A and B are shown apart, each in its own frame.
Chain A
Amino acid sequence: MGGPESPPNPPAKTMTPEAIFKRLADKFGAETVFDFHADPKKDRDPWFQVAPWEIEPICEHLRSDPELAFDYLECITGVDYPDDKKIVVVYHVYSYTRKHRVVLKAFLDREDPAMPTLVNVWSVANWQERECFDLLGVLFEGHPDLRRLLMPDDWEGHPLRKDFEEKEDYHGIPTVRPNPIDLYKITLPGKEGAKA
């Protein structure tokens, strides 16, 4: 391999998210790829649901199909919805060659959030999934090294869960401190409230 990559030949054809959704639903069935949301306002990204346990073959298809050619996993985000008892893992995927994007969502059970890893499809998933595990407690099965990444190893709980409560101290280090404004209250002599 030498020299910069030549532009793809024939010229890249961009597909709309809806077309991509239809293509996937035809291939994998309406039970696996479903619930297409096209936000009525422009500029916002349409998304659809995928069955969490089928995500690996779907993404493998996204990457290897030459007409889809999604070669860049932009972002994995975990979102906690305690009201719906769900944790949603959002995948933003982009194709450098075709210049189209797609947003996938996997709805997981909040009590037992687990789904297969995508490390074998895109290597970038490795650290992103570790982060998602660390901050939201999603278990990515088959991940080679699912350890805490940002939080200390002995941290309890997952901070980005909505019901996470901060402990008062961590190894004797307090996590709260008095508001500095309260410490330096200025009282003017001779006026009401001076006694305080």
Chain B
Amino acid sequence: MSEVVFTNEMDEEMTLNMGPHHPSTHGVLRFIIQSDGEIIRKATPDVGYLHRSIEKIGERCTYPGYMPYTDRVDYVAAMFANECWATACEKLMDIGVPKRAQYLRVISCELNRIASHMIAVGAMAMDIGATTPFMWTLREREYINDFIEELCGARLTYNYHRIGGVSFDMPKGWADKVKTWVDKFVPLMEEFDRLITYNDIYVKRLADVAVISGAEAKDWGLVGPNLRGSGVKWDLRKDDGYSVYPELEFAVPVGRGQFGTVGDCWDRFYVRVEECKESGKILQQALVKIDEHPEDDIVGKLPKKLKPEGEAYARVESARGDMGCYVIGKGAEEPYRARFRTGSFNAMGIIEAKSPGLFLADLVALIASFDVVAPEIDR
């Protein structure tokens, strides 16, 4: 990487305030930008507008009672925070999860991943000026919302997973409905590719913009699609093999620099589009394999009193990458400490370092390509 050098001749530095209510900031997020004309010298993110101190709330709730709050960690993909909290508690209290419940978790999570990526890719296209794809992606997301509503009664903050399992089994005929939709959805993504992913204007707009190398991505703790966009083939579902993911076949798409350099904005976009297709594949397999396990066996054996002692750190691959939950119990009904480590938080950290030399308009592309969700940063 060559260093960006600013000359002091005709210095016309200006300070620009972007947000907190800027549409492209995906929530309430503010940047203080020092720029010379169109070129950014430094963009300092100012976060915390959505801070609700979820971790402090966790210290005041019982272990199962904290579940609805975890939805609010990331409301675009709430299922993963549910799963992360449940997994952490199960690890802490040595609770086994029945296979059927694990499959239901995978199915609900993969549906949610598609829904979240639909927002991500649609909103990214909209942020840089293409309005139509957003309507397309939201239409598909609406189907998923309907499915999940049928499954657990909620469309956004699900509160579906439980410590030791899930709250409801699938309704009758639900699996077939989802299967029919997935069969329709996967070819639709190919249409989406023709419309937007490989669209000439779109590619030219995003290729070679805000390149992040694999080493940089690791150093700054980028996770999930942002890390894989930089060419690092690492997916918690594959490399750690939690839940029933080892029984399912899927590929891990990585950025290859097809139109520019590995780790540019287009690569991060492309990884998300491909992941949607892979999630579709996982759903097709999981919806068949779930039948091998007896119905209504959806919650494991819980101890009478949930008063664990010790500590555990659980990880899940959320839509925004490796989400971690660190829980410490001290023999009380409430956890002593509950900590969430989220992908968007670290993605924000790198923006300050990557912004010098970017165009103002490219900052919008960079934020959108990270798929940051403001409540996940602030918690």
Contact = CB atoms under 8 A, between A and B. Distances in A.
B218 A41 contact: no
Interface in A45-97: 45, 71-75, 77, 79, 90, 92, 96
B349 A74 contact: no
Given A2-B262, A159-B53, A126 B313 contact: no
B348 A127 contact: yes
A5 B232 contact: yes
A149 B48 contact: yes
Interface stretch (B75-83, B160-168, B339-347): B339-347
Majority SS at the chain B contact face: mixed
Given A1-B262, A2-B262, A123-B353, A150 B341 contact: no
A148 B328 CA distance: 25
A11 interface: no
B324 interface: yes
Nearest to A39: B310
B179 interface: no
B12 interface: no
B167 to A, nearest CB: 24
A190 interface: no
B231 A77 contact: no
A171 to B, nearest CB: 15
A29 B208 CA distance: 48
Nearest to A76: B341
Nearest to A103: B313
A45 B55 CA distance: 21
A122 B219 contact: yes
A124 B257 CA distance: 24
B237 interface: no
B204 interface: no
Interface string B135-177: 0000000000000000000000000000000000000000000
A4 B91 CA distance: 34
A139 interface: no
A151 interface: yes
Contact of B56 (A4, A75, A92, A159): A159
Given A5-B231, A41-B94, A150-B47, A124 B262 contact: no
A79 B328 contact: yes
A75 B223 CA distance: 12
A14 B222 CA distance: 22
B257 A5 contact: no
Contacts of A44: 91-92, 310-312
A4 B256 CA distance: 6
A171 B69 CA distance: 27
Nearest to A79: B337
Contact-size category for B = 35 or more
B276 to A, nearest CB: 20
B312 A123 contact: no
Given A123-B220, A159-B56, A92 B326 contact: yes
Interface in A126-145: 126-128, 131, 135
B48 A160 contact: no
Most central of B218, B231, B379 by chain A CB within 10 Å:
B218
A174 interface: no
Interface string A4-16: 1100000000000
A151 B337 contact: no
Interface in B180-206: none
B313 A1 contact: no
Contacts of B218: 71-72, 96
A151 B48 contact: yes
A124 B213 contact: no
A39 B233 CA distance: 31
B164 to A, nearest CB: 15
Interface in B264-282: none
Interface in B298-329: 310-313, 315, 322, 324, 326, 328
B51 A151 contact: yes
Interface string A97-137: 00100010000000000000000001110111001000100
A123 B206 CA distance: 26
Contacts of B322: 74
B94 to A, nearest CB: 6
A180 interface: no
User: 9 tightest A-B contacts by CB?
Assistant: A124-B221, A127-B349, A75-B341, A150-B48, A150-B51, A4-B231, A77-B339, A123-B219, A71-B218
17 contacts: A1-B213, A3-B257, A4-B233, A41-B94, A43-B91, A44-B92, A72-B221, A73-B221, A75-B341, A92-B341, A96-B234, A123-B350, A124-B219, A126-B349, A127-B345, A127-B348, A159-B53
Given A92-B313, A122-B219, 7 more contacts: A2-B257, A43-B94, A45-B312, A73-B221, A77-B337, A79-B328, A160-B56
